[in-house]
Amino acid sequence: GGETYDYDLVVIGGGSGGLATAKKAANYGAKVALFDFVKPSPQNTKWGLGGTCVNVGCVPKKLMHYAGLMGPAMRDAKNYGWQLPEDTPGFNWSTLVEVVQNHVKMLNFRYRVGLKSAQVTYINALARLASPHEIVYERRGVEHKVTAGKVVIAVGGRPAYPAGVPGAKEYAITSDDIFSLDHSPGKTLVVGASYIALECAGFLTELGFDTTVAVRSILLRGFDRQSAEKIGEVMEASGTRFVKGAVPSSIEKQADGKLKVTLVDSTTGAHVMTETFDTVMYGTGRTPDTAALNLEAAGVTVLPNGKIPVNGDESTNVPNIYALGDCAMVDVNFMESHWANPELTPVAIMAGQLLAARLYGKGTDKMDYTLIATAVFTPTEYGAVGLSEEDALKMFGPQDVEVYLQEFSSLELQATKDVSHKDLDEENDMPPMCLSKLVCRKSEGERVVGFHFVGPNAGELTQGFALALKLGAKKADFDKLVGIHPTDAEAFCGLEITRSSGIDFVAAG
Ligand code: FAD
Ligand code: NA7
Is ipTM beyond 0.95?
A: yes
Cα 135–Cα 141–Cα 144 angle in degrees, nearest 5: 25
Q: Is 161 left (phi over 0), alpha (psi -120 to 50) or beta?
A: beta
CA of residue 93 to ligand 1 center, whole Å: 25
Closest C-alpha among 172, 162, 182 to residue 42: 172
Q: What is the mean pLDDT of the chain?
A: 94
Q: Is the CB of 329 under 6 A from ligand 1?
A: no
Identify whether the C-beta of residue 194 lies closer than 8 Å to the C-beta of residue 283.
yes
Protein residue closest via CA to atom 21 of ligand 2: 192
Q: What is the dihedral of CA 353, 356, 357, 360, to 10 degrees?
A: -160
322 is in an annotated binding site: no
Closest ligand 1 atom to the C-alpha of 293?
18
pLDDT value of residue 419: 54
Neighbours of 6 (CB within 10 A): 16
Backbone angles phi, psi at 59, to 5 degrees: -70, -60
Ligand nearest to the CA of 330: 2
Ligand 1 site-directed mutation target among 23, 52, 100, 308, most atoms within 8 Å of CB: 52
Beta carbons within 8 Å of 418's beta carbon, 6+ residues apart:
none
Ligand nearest to the CA of 156: 1
Query: Angle at which helices 225-237 and 389-396 pack, to 10 degrees?
Result: 170
Identify whether the C-beta of residue 140 lies closer than 8 Å to the C-beta of residue 154.
no
pLDDT value of residue 418: 62
CA of residue 289 to ligand 1 center, whole Å: 10
**Rounded-to-integer distance, Cα 284 and Cα 415, Å:** 38
pLDDT value of residue 85: 81
Query: Global pTM?
Result: 0.96
Q: Is the CB of 383 under 6 A from ligand 1?
A: no
Active site residue 485: yes
**Rounded-to-integer distance, Cα 488 and Cα 426, Å:** 25
Protein residue closest via CA to atom 5 of ligand 2: 285
Reduced to 3 states (helix: H, G, I; strand: E, B; else coil), residue 187 is coil
pLDDT value of residue 459: 98
Neighbours of 411 (CB within 10 A): 11
* Mean pLDDT computed over 458-473: 98
Closest C-alpha among 373, 334, 340, 339 to residue 458: 373
**Rounded-to-integer distance, Cα 377 and Cα 345, Å:** 15
237 is in an annotated binding site: no
Is residue 20 scored above 70 in pLDDT? Answer: yes
Neighbours of 94 (CB within 10 A): 11
**Rounded-to-integer distance, Cα 204 and Cα 211, Å:** 7
- Per-residue pLDDT reduced to its tens digit, 420-454: 544 444 445 678 999 999 999 999 999 999 999 99
Q: Is 303 left (phi over 0), alpha (psi -120 to 50) or beta?
A: beta
Q: Is the CB of 343 under 6 A from ligand 1?
A: yes
As a whole-number percent, the residues of the chain with pLDDT over 70 amount to 95
Beta carbons within 8 Å of 139's beta carbon, 6+ residues apart:
125
**Cα distance between the two ends of the chain:** 71
- Per-residue pLDDT reduced to its tens digit, 76-125: 898 899 998 877 678 999 999 999 999 999 999 999 999 999 999 999 99
pLDDT value of residue 338: 46
Q: Give the β-pairing of 286-288 and 157-159.
A: antiparallel
Ligand nearest to the CA of 40: 1
**394 half-sphere exposure, CB direction, 13 A CA radius:** 8
pLDDT value of residue 112: 97
pLDDT value of residue 340: 60
Identify whether the C-beta of residue 76 lies closer than 8 Å to the C-beta of residue 82.
no
Task: Give the bridge partners for 188, in sequence order.
Answer: 211, 279
- Per-residue pLDDT reduced to its tens digit, 150-197: 999 999 999 999 999 999 999 999 999 999 999 999 999 999 999 999
Protein residue closest via CA to atom 13 of ligand 2: 284
- Per-residue pLDDT reduced to its tens digit, 490-506: 999 999 999 999 999 99
195 is in an annotated binding site: yes
CA of residue 191 to ligand 2 center, whole Å: 10
Closest ligand 1 atom to the C-alpha of 286?
36
Q: Is the CB of 177 under 6 A from ligand 1?
A: no
Protein residue closest via CA to atom 15 of ligand 1: 155
